[in-house]
Structures are given as C-alpha cells and as structure tokens.
Amino acid sequence: MIRKILIANRGEIACRIIRTCREMGIATVAVYADADAHALYVEMADEAAHIGSSVPGESYLNRAKIIAAARRTGADAVHPGYGFLAENADFAQAVIDAGLIFIGPSPSAIAAMGKKRAAKEMLKGIPVVPGYMGDDQSDERLIAESERIGYPIMVKASAGGGGKGMRQVDTPEDMPAALEAARREALQAFGDGTLILERVVVNPRHVEVQIFGDQLGNIISLGERECTIQRRHQKIIEETPSTALTPELRAQMCMAAVSIGKQLDYYNAGTVEFLVDEDRNFYFMEMNTRLQVEHPITEEATGVDLVRWQIMVAEGHALPEMDVYPAGHAIEVRIYAEDPANEFLPVIGTILRWREPDDVRVDSGVRSGDNLSVYYDPMLAKIIAYGEHREGAIRRLDYALSQLQLLGMRNNIAFLRRVLLHPDHLAGDISTTFIAQHPELLQEDTTPDPFGLIAAALSKIEGKTQWRNNMNSPVRHTFAASGTEYVVALTAAGKDIYAAQVGDQAYTVQLWSVHDGDITLSLDGHRQTVTALPGPDESWWVHTRSGSAMYRWVNPLPEAGSSREAAGSLHAPMPGQVRAVLVTAGQQVAEGDVLLILEAMKMEHRIKAPYAGEVAAIHYAVGDSVPAEAVLLEIK
C-alpha cells in the first residue's frame, strides 16, 4: 500500500498529482529547485525537499538527488509526471532498485519505446511512415536516403519528442544545415544525436490513442485525442473525439494501439501517437510511456481519473471493470507565456494577476505574484471545457478564455481564441500545418478598447477628491499601444460621473466601484467590470471583455539626456546560452540571415539580421551565458 508519494516534477502536473493524492489519502513530497522555492505546488504538498540549483541538470534531471530525497522523506513511491525523467528507463530502474515503487510502466517498456527507430523496427503489424532508420548517420548517407525517399523530408531525433531535434526539409540544398541543427538540438535535449528520416505526410492529422494496462495482463483503450493544432511541432489545442475518424478507422487505430501495448506487456498509462493522411491511412509515430499533458480531456470524456488509475495499477490492483467509452466532447488549450506575433518566443517576468475562469476545469500551477523562470517550459496552465457536442464545448472554452486573466506578460490567450473560432477549425478542416496556412491568426487587433484606456486613466488618478477639486479642468493622460499614442481626457461632471474624450470619441462615464484593481464603470450606459493594474516601467495592464492589453503611460516630462541605443544592436530576448555563432566580424549579411542561435527556455531562438549590412562586432561566443537584453551582435 502506497502511503507517501514523491513527485519528481514541478508546476501544474505536480499540482494535479497532489490533488488526486489528497482524495486518496496519500501524503505527498514535492521536490524543488531554487527557482521554485515559493511555487504553488511546493506549498500544496505535505512536505518538500530541495534538490539543487535552477538548472534542470542539477535538480529535476538529477536521478541521484531525487532518489535520495525520496529516501530522506520516507516516500514509498515516485511519480515522474511528464517531461524531465518521466521516460527515462534508467531512472525508473534506479527507483525500483532503491526499494521504491515507480508509478509508471516497466523500465523495459520505457527503453523499448524510448528510441523511435528501435520502436518502429520491433513492432509487428503496425503501419509506419516510409523513411530511413539506419545505423549509418553520416551526412552523405542521410542525404542519399532523403533523395531515395523523396522531398519534403522530416528529420527527427531518434531519442525524444516534443519537437526537439525536428526539422522539415523541403529541398536538397537545405538538408545539410537541417541535419546539423537537428543533431545539435537532439544532443542538447536527449544526449543522443541519432537522427531518423521520414517522408512528410501532406496535410496530416495528429491523432493519439490513450491506452492503459495493469500488471495482470489487462490492457484497454480509452479512445483517441486529436492533437493536430500545433506550433513549433508542439501541441497547443487537443480534443476528443477526433473529427477526422470514422467509426471504422477509430476501431482500427484503437486496436493497433492495444496491440502495441500487448506486444510490450505494457502496464500503466501510455499514449500511442499516429499520423492520419488525407486518404484516411494511419501511421505509427511513437509511443509516450507516461501520462500526457493532454490527459484531462480523456478524463472529462470518460469520467476516469487517470492519475488515480496510475497509482492503483502501481500498487498491483486490476483495472476497474467499468464502461470507459468516451462520451460527449472535451477540448483543451495550453496557456503559454509567449508572444505569438514574435515567432512564439517565450517571455519571462512577474504575473501581476492570475485569475481563473469559473465553470470549466483549470489545471494550473501558477498564481498572482509568481515569477516565471527562464529555466523551464513556458506552459503555465491548461483550460479544459466539456460539452455534449463539439460546438458547445468550443463555445464554453472560448467564454472561459474571455474570463481568464494573465496580466504582466505577453501570452497566447487571444491567439488561442482566434484559432478556436476560425471557420476552418469550427468545421474540423485542420492539419498540423494549420497555423502556417493561416498567418492571419498571428495578426492581433491592436485597436485599444476604450473601457481599458479609460480604466487605466481613472486608475492613474490618486483618489476621487482630485476630481471634485477640478470640476472644470480636464486631466489628460497619454498611453502608448502598438506604436500609437492615445490621449484620454477626463473631466469630473458630478458624483462619480465624468466626461471622457478618447481621440474623437466622447463618452459619459459613470464609476460604480473600485476594488483591488477591478473597476466597474459604464460608458454611455454600457456597463462592464475592467481590471487595470500598474506594471513596471509605467506600464498598465488591463483586462476587458475583448481581452487583455498593455498600455504604456507616456510621461509628459521625459528625463533630460535620455536617448536611444544605436540602431543595429541585436539584443537577447531573454537570458540564455549561445549555441552557435554563424557569422564573423566584418562579414556582409542580408536581411533575414541567421546570425546567432540562442538556447533559452528549452528552445532554440534564431537571431536574424534586421537589415543588410556588415557585422561590426560579436560580443558573445558559443557556450557563453547571456542576460536578458544583452547586446549580442552589432550590424552597421
């Protein structure tokens, strides 16, 4: 019987596991690195153990430290969550060798599926995408095999997933650079630079099947999940059931997934991932031997707590005898601290306000006041909505996203709403290239909401007494948004009544209440509650019914001597490490040329030339750590 579980993970998945353990009467131990000392999941757990610095290799990826923490705290079992060591067969074996229960599949199953190439070679009767998985990893052989398979080619890291070490190559000329980049990224992420090649399936759907097995030989399918909407080869919207499958195709794919589980003598949670082409052919991609990020939609559609099942199976219990066929429709979005308009570049900072919507499921691991670290994935939460049909589930999810507040940093909430409501998405006409095919989704409506501007201006005034003493004198505030300045003029016209002028538009404003950044006001009788909070550097973050925005207050008396940096400097968008410098001082470059590759927040970021010119200076070398906003290179 398991009485105490150490959670070898962090963030929202750790919070999720803790909640289930509480319901089961199981104590929890959280492990944490320096950056997570005050994290929500650490405070939620019954106990916590410090395991090192914020660098993952010195904490969350350090097997010895995690097992030592389990022993020190008297844990019976270790739950790996997902990511980090969740699919590390050596870690699973080390947990077992330490006399602890590993809440996951057997080390042999993890090892078998951990290498894409070996996995595809060992499975019998499972269709796979044509490609190359040979031992000869020379560039010459890989380029020759690409010619044989035919372009476009997908280059993949054999040892991992999550979009790391993955490149689509459309022409032979691009293959050498793609091989170099994919191999380098695979080594960094997985310690293994082995690559495989696959023919690109045109306009594919990404559909996965959730399987579950016990240690008595029983294995079942819990239906599929559609994971087709992706960016950077990573999923951002998932739903069940898939709009791509007929009942016959669904049965075939679920049967294939269960067959894979049986070939592996698999137990605990596992996910078999497939590509489905335009002709409804399906191909095995890989198997994730762990709980998936998107597991909540299966839980919502089946009524099953998969974490509870994981613990029960780890204790040796048989799977419950119950009907777990999915019903209704569930859909989930992943909330990221990132900038969709800037190639989905992750951002860091302090969360000024995190406010979750009501009446839908929210799996999150953050709260107001949290600082986001550069060391970890920028995913903050998942919002999950369930409905009797797909249209109803999407409607509930969109409404929930309109209520969700993430103030203090750029995020993908508005982008997700645009994707959800796009006509093609509503019609189920999607593929893994959906975002690339619809660049208009990246274009934000930069027109400020007058509710937000007026709320920010009201918040800028210290107390209402000032209004009563200036009945006939308008107070003006200027805010900048998306490169445009907006003047808000407010004149007191009575008790809690103001005349407002925003550009050419005049409003009668009534202020109803102000509390903790929430301002209830009406414009010409139209009433809303708006959130307006001050941020650093004279910024104001507002949330209205139309979404969230940041306005920067323009100081009418700028400091003397202020100046801009010289044009041509290229800055680090966030703290990171230089992985490659692709130019030399004095070299001529064209606009858009990649100059330097920076690794930050588990992803590579390409620093490109903003215009043609000559490289005047390079300030960092490969391996150097750089702070945010550091000048990396200069071009004249």
Residue with the larger pLDDT of the pair 46 and 459: 46
Rounded Cα distance between 601 and 598, Å, is 10
Residue identified by tokens 């089961």 is 24
φ/ψ of residue 164, rounded to 5 = -75, 135
Is there a shared CATH topology between the 130-199 domain and the 205-442 domain? Answer: no
Element (H, E) at 506: strand 505-515
Q: Residue 362 pLDDT more than 90?
A: yes
DSSP H helices in 8-160: 11-24, 40-44, 63-73, 89-97, 107-114, 116-122, 139-149
- For 494, which DSSP code? E
Contact 60, 84 (CB under 8 A): yes
DSSP-derived secondary structure letter, 440: G
The pLDDT value recorded for residue 232 is 86
**Among 601, 480, 627, which Cα is nearest to 539's?**
480
Domain ranges of the chain: 4-103, 130-199, 205-442, 450-553, 569-635
In CATH terms, the fold of domain 130-199 is Dna Ligase; domain 1 (3.30.1490)
pLDDT at 465: 46
Q: Using only the alpha carbons of the chain, give its radius of gyration.
A: 26
In this model, does residue 47 exceed pLDDT 50?
yes
SS3 category, 539: strand
pLDDT at 515 over 90: yes
Active site residue 290: yes
Phi/psi-derived region of residue 632, left when phi > 0, alpha when psi is between -120 and 50, beta in every other case:
alpha
Query: 């042999």: which residue's tokens?
Result: 108
Q: Which of 117-131, 155-169, 504-518, 600-614 has the highest mean pLDDT?
A: 504-518
**Does the pTM exceed 0.75?**
yes
In this predicted model, what pLDDT tens digit does every residue of 466-508 receive, in sequence order? 444 455 678 999 999 888 999 999 999 988 999 999 989 999 9
CA dist 236 → 204, 333, 412 (Å): 16, 6, 10
Q: Are 337 and 408 within 8 A, CB to CB?
A: no
CA gap 335, 614 in Å, rounded? 39
pLDDT digit string, tens, across residues 251-290 = 999 999 999 999 999 999 999 999 999 999 999 999 999 9
CATH class of the 569-635 domain in this structure? mainly beta
Q: Which position among 183, 231, 250, 290 bears the catalytic label?
A: 290
205-442 is classed in which CATH architecture? Answer: 2-Layer Sandwich (3.30)
pLDDT (0 to 100) of residue 121: 83
Distance CA 567, CA 534 (A): 30
Q: Comparing C-alpha atoms, which of 546, 355, 354 is closest to residue 451?
A: 546
Report the half-sphere exposure of 188 (CA within 13 A, side-chain side): 22
Please give the CATH topology (third level) of the domain spanning 450-553: Glycoprotein, Type 4 Pilin (3.30.700)
Backbone torsions φ then ψ of 330, nearest 5 degrees: -125, 140
pLDDT digits (tens, 9 = 90+) for 588-598: 999 889 999 98
Alpha helices in 130-217 (DSSP H): 139-149, 175-190
The dotted CATH code for 4-103 is: 3.40.50.20
Each residue of 435-474: pLDDT tens digit? 999 999 999 888 899 999 999 999 887 554 444 445 567 8
